Chain A
Amino acid sequence: MDVPIAWYLILSAALFSIGVFAFLIKRNIITIFMSIELMLNAVNLAFVAFAHHWHQVSGQIFVFFVMVVAAAEAAVGLAIIISVYRSRETLNVDQINLMKL
């Protein structure tokens, strides 16, 4: 049985929407960061599905670069979270309202 490419794309749209919603309603800064990763993964799925449709390798190369940037971003973001927690003693985003550490 074949699966329509559109189903993969709809799945990726659903994952992206859930990621946006979690980004909006979550109050814990770590969970907010995780929902950003979920959105990146949803976009990666769309890239791979389109690469399969057009028979192009470049779509998968894009996913490779997204993964590299996501890894760098996770390292820096979690370091920022640790230093914010050190100075504020909280992870709730409502109580983090200054850029100053």
Chain B
Amino acid sequence: MHLALFVIFGLFCLGGALNLLLQRHPINSALSLIVVMSSLAVLYLLLGAEFLALAQIIVYSGAIMVLFVFVIMLLNAGEEEKTHGSRAAYLAGIPGVLALFCVLASTYVTLRTSFGQARLGNFIVTTEELSRVLFRNLLLPFEVTSILILVAILGAVVLARKEQ
């Protein structure tokens, strides 16, 4: 059950990410990113993070991606054109990214025995436990993020406002 769900939604994640890379139109990339984020929510549930799974759906697939799609439609963004700048990125990017992935993956493969297995229902963080840690031990950082969001709202309004 766990393995089947992991394989299905892990493949959805990888497929969505590759589709984001291959599509030329930004709206197609945005929709495939929604697929990635929603299947990540299922993976969070499998790892016992129930609050984060719902927050992922609401905040990422809901709020942030709607904002992206809204901006794409507002600016009427068409297909991206190929320009000379991308060739250097291919030459430096492909070996660099492959090296990054190989280093990370080989580290994880060599350490796989010490990581152990993820058993379904072995470690479930309920919203109550999470909020107890958040509001008891980390109240100050939580309040500071509210100031951050306030600053972000003001900044967004100032930046996107039309010059008079």
Interface residues of A (CB under 8 A from B): 1-11, 13-22, 24-28, 30-31, 33-35, 37-38, 41, 44-45, 48-49, 51-53, 55, 57-58, 60-61, 63-65, 67-76, 78-83, 85-86, 91-94
**Cβ contacts under 8 Å, A5 to chain B:** 112, 115-118
The complex places the Cα of A47 from the Cα of B11 at a distance, in Å, of 20
Given A21-B94, A22-B21, A57-B125; A4-B85 close (CB under 8 Å): no
In the assembled complex, the Cα of A13 lies from the Cα of B114 at a distance in Å of 18
A34 touches B29 (CB 8 A): yes
Q: Which residues of B contact A71 (CB under 8 A)?
A: 59, 63-64, 149, 152
Beyond A21-B97, A69-B148, A76-B155, whether A64 also contacts B40 by CB under 8 A is no
Contacts of B105 in A (CB 8 A): 10, 13-14
Q: Could you list 14 further interchain pairs (A-B, Cβ under 8 angstroms) beyond the known A37-B33, A63-B49, A64-B51?
A: A2-B2, A3-B6, A4-B118, A10-B104, A10-B108, A14-B101, A18-B18, A22-B17, A22-B21, A41-B36, A53-B116, A64-B134, A68-B149, A94-B83
- Total interface residues in chain B, CB < 8 Å: 90
List, sorted by A's number, 11 A–B pairs whose CB atoms are closer than 8 Å. Answer: A4-B115, A6-B111, A10-B108, A18-B21, A19-B17, A45-B40, A49-B118, A55-B123, A60-B125, A76-B152, A79-B156
B160 x A79 contact (CB < 8 A)? yes
A65 to B118, CA, bound (A): 24
Q: Is the interface of A mostly helix, strand, loop or mixed?
A: helix
- The residue in chain B whose Cβ has the minimal distance to the Cβ of A58 is B133
- Bound complex: CA of A55 vs CA of B47, how far in Å? 11
* Minimal Cβ-Cβ distance residue in A for B84: A94
Tell me if A38 and B71 are in contact (CB < 8 A): no
Residue numbers in B under 8 Å from A30 (CB-CB): 26, 30, 68, 71-72, 75, 77
| Residue among B26, B47, B157 with the highest chain A CB neighbour number at 10 A | B47
Q: Which residues of A contact B44 (CB under 8 A)?
A: 45, 48
